[in-house]
Chain A
Amino acid sequence: QQQVKQSPQSLIVQKGGISIINCAYENTAFDYFPWYQQFPGKGPALLIAIRPDVSEKKEGRFTISFNKSAKQFSLHIMDSQPGDSATYFCGGTSYGKLTFGQGTILTVHP
């Protein structure tokens, strides 16, 4: 059972543009929604996370928008930079068990 669906699979953005990645979840027991960034040869690194009682969270250039009724959430990367080129994973956590989405490969062209 695929519990977190992520889209798009890949995304190409120009430097300075906005990158948007979307996720939808099925498991209503999820109560913590993190986003991870992974570079080749490295483990996932926590980028930003949100709890379902909050509709938006912003940290620097990164913003999560959360819609509990629709069971959807998204990551917005403002002023995208070539250094942001990586694979991004959304996830949902229930009692410490993190279920990841399939990942989005982001490429930011200079």
Chain B
Amino acid sequence: DAGVTQSPTHLIKTRGQQVTLRCSPKSGHDTVSWYQQALGQGPQFIFQYYEEEERQRGNFPDRFSGHQFPNYSSELNVNALLLGDSALYLCASATASPTGNSPLHFGNGTRLTVT
């Protein structure tokens, strides 16, 4: 049973460019969330997708956008990259629940470096 898979594992981009990161949730999961983890910090919530819609959003600018596909996979897009966007981007999946508090399963992330 495959867990959460993310691609690519590493990425180097230049300031001002755009990037797309991809995530396939754990089998049986229908909710996908994205987190940004700066070096030495805890992950920060970016947004959550369920039924192909953004359900919740953290304190991130509109440069960060996402999408969820009918097969529950998801993409994170970041436009106009800044040096400060360099981080590990984590995807997490879960099964939908009335309280929204099913355990989150994380992938191993995409390491984005902006030069």
C-alpha spacing A47/B104, complex, angstroms: 11
In the complex, which residues of chain A have a beta carbon less than 8 angstroms from the beta carbon of B103? Answer: 34, 46, 49
Interface centre among A32, A98, A100, A101 (most CB of B within 10 A): A98
User: Chain B interface: which size bin?
Assistant: 20 to 34
What residues of chain B lie closer than 8 Å to A45, measured between beta carbons? 106
| Contact pattern, A 77-110, Cβ under 8 Å of B = 1, otherwise 0 | 0000000000001010111111111110000000
B45 to A, closest residue via Cβ: A97
Contact B90 A44 (CB under 8 A): yes
- Taken residue by residue from 22 to 45, chain B's Cβ proximity to chain A (1 for < 8 Å, 0 otherwise) reads as 000000000101010000111111
**Set of chain A residues within 8 Å of B42, measured between Cβ atoms:** 6, 89, 91, 100-103
Bitwise interface map of B from 55 to 93 toward A, beta carbon under 8 Å scored 1, else 0: 110100000000000000000000000000000001010
Query: How far does the alpha carbon of A57 sit from the alpha carbon of B104 in the complex, in Å?
Result: 19
B21 at the interface (CB under 8 A from A): no
A31 touches B104 (CB 8 A): no
Q: How many residues in A have their beta carbons less than 8 Å from beta carbons of B?
A: 25
The interface residues of chain A lying within 8 Å CB-to-CB of B90 are 43-44
Question: Within the complex, what minimum Cβ distance (angstroms) separates A29 from chain B?
Answer: 11
